[in-house]
Amino acid sequence: MGVALFLAINSNNPINPNNMKIKKVVCAPGKTGFFFDDQKAIKKGAKNDGAFYSGDPVTPGFTSVRQAGESISVLFILEDGSIAHGDCAAVQYSGAGGRDPLFLAESFIPVIMKEIAPLYEGKEITTFRKMADLVDKHVNADGKKYHTAIRYGVTQACLDAVAKSQHKLMAQVVADEYGTKISDTMVPIFSQSGDDRYLNVDKMIMKEVGVLPHALFNNVETKVGLKGEKIKEYLQWLRDRIVTKRQNPNYQPAIHIDVYGTLSIVFNNDFQRIADYLNELSEIVAPFELRVEGPVDMDGREPQIEALAKIRELLDAKGSKCQIVADEWCNTLEDIIAFSERKAGHMVQIKTPDLGGVNNAIEAVLYCKQHNMRAYLGGTCNETNRSAEVCANIAMATSPCQCLAKPGMGVDEGYMIIFNEMSRVLALKDVLK
């Protein structure tokens, strides 16, 4: 149900789109493009066993270290018979780094149908921002907001409903309401390799992916190296692989790896040693730009901000070309503002499901761009094709530095979904006004 289907509204229907209503809300349980993984258990040594992990879960709610990802499709049946659609989904490492708990369809469909459906059924479609606020700003009697995954999916459906009622692209609705301009080119797409960090890189090079490969360095002993030596070896291979296999000599991807805070362990949180190591990595991959996500995990927002601000200061002082990317403990719009104000990193991952409503992701990109912090419209491999399509529209309307290819870690599927949706937006944005 991407932009190619948004014209499904029956033009002969006499309903005035300016006061179209939502007739009914329907939920459908779904699967995501990856898994829920217990990050704490993995950091404590849970080992890969094929697609499984051995060992016992540590994070509350998990019944195994890795389990199937779940989603909920929220379907708004509109007055003219068309259907607006968003998908509720949560990140791969749910319950870690200050995030909401594990998101299971069986537990949360009743919440949506009992508490959220009445907010929309029989109501007029107004603006995206007003409709998103109904669920995203809602606070219950205990002073709590709805699970981030619920807010994520319902606000996607809100954006789609407004687009359908106005006969517009979702990107056009965002641009209109937030005063932006839809990009004239594709936003660079960041593709994830998962653990298959060699074969999947070849796929990325063939497709000339703009940012690569993520690489999933989430275990010191098996992937990072006790002195960080395994990352060095990998980056040397990666640099040489791009140079020798690219067919276009002008293909200059940015190299972006995620180390999941493991440098805290390797260097015992010695920030000078970490900065020196990161600078070494940037020299290994030259002439390609290097971005390192989550170099440390300080187990709390304030110490995380202090650590990333210090590491950035040390890197900048030596004129390093390495950029660090904030991720853990930078989950909400408020977090992103705090990290940006303190220059805690060079770039922030706007991990879309963690922010709740997609309205917050839009505001986060715009805030970063206005405050000298690079914006990465991210998310998780554990999303769906629908949430990816919506995010591609948001990226085209807000122009972050990069947008994550999602869901999954197989490269081809996630890259195809994001690339094709952006391409459709480019093809239609000047035709449909």
Tens of pLDDT, residue by residue over 324-340, are 999 989 989 999 999 99
Question: Are residues 377 and 242 part of one domain?
Answer: yes
- 44 lies in the same domain as 193: no
In a domain, 424, yes or no: yes
The span from the CA of 239 to the CA of 75, in Å, is: 45
Residues 333 and 212 in one domain: yes
What's the token pair of residue 111?
């919440």
Question: How many distinct structural domains can be found in the chain?
Answer: 2
Residue 14 is assigned to a structural domain of this protein:
no
Q: In the prediction, which pLDDT does 13 show?
A: 42
Give the pLDDT score at 5. 41
d(CA 185, CA 372): 22
CA 86 from chain centre, in angstroms, equals 15
Is residue 60 in some structural domain? Answer: yes
23 three-class SS: strand
User: pLDDT, tens digit, for every residue of 139-161?
Assistant: 887 889 999 999 999 999 999 99
Residue 3 in any domain: the answer is no
Residue 7 located in a structural domain: no
Indicate whether 198 and 74 sit together in one domain: no
334 and 272 in a common domain = yes
The residue out of 159, 178, 197 marking a domain boundary is: 178
Q: Which amino acids are annotated as binding site for (2S,3S)-3-methyl-L-aspartate, given as ranges?
A: 192, 349
Q: Is 310 a catalytic residue?
A: no
- What are the C-alpha distances in Å from 394 to residues 76, 183, 331? 20, 10, 18
Ramachandran category for residue 45: left, alpha or beta (phi over 0 → left; psi -120 to 50 → alpha)? left
How far apart, in whole angstroms, are the C-alpha atoms of residue 89 and residue 408?
13
Which of 143, 158, 178 terminates a domain? The answer is 178
Structural domain of 120: 21-178
CATH of the domain at 204: 3.20.20.120
DSSP state of 418: H
Of 43, 223, 351, 406, the catalytic one is 351
Residue 369 lies in a domain: yes
Based on the domain organization, do 289 and 194 belong to the same domain? yes
Domain end call among 126, 159, 178: 178
63 in any annotated domain: yes
Both 341 and 220 in one domain: the answer is: yes
User: Residue 161 falls within a domain, yes or no?
Assistant: yes
* Residue 140 CB contacts under 8 Å (≥ 6 apart), including other chains: 146
Residues 126 and 210 in one domain: no
Extract the residue ranges of the chain whose pLDDT is less than 50. 1, 3-16
174 and 39 in one domain?
yes
114 and 249 both lie in a single domain: no
The answer on 284 and 171 residing in a single domain is no
Annotated binding residues for Mg(2+): 258, 293, 327
- Crossing angle of helices 358-370 and 385-398, in 10° steps, is 30
Q: At 95, which CATH number?
A: 3.30.390.10
Distance, in Å, from the CA atom of 311 to the CA atom of 305, rounded to the nearest integer, reads: 10
Q: Which of 384, 216, 337 is nearest to 392 (CA)?
A: 384
The residue whose two tokens read 């949706």 is 421
**pLDDT at res. 14:** 41
pLDDT of residue 85: 98
Spatial distance between the Cα atoms of 433 and 419, rounded to a whole number of angstroms: 22
Nearest-5° Cα angle at 231, 226 to 235: 160
Residues 224 and 154 in one domain: no
Q: Which helix (H) or strand (E) holds 83?
A: strand 83-88
Query: What pLDDT does 432 receive?
Result: 84
Question: How far from the centroid of its chain's Cα atoms is residue 418's Cα?
Answer: 12
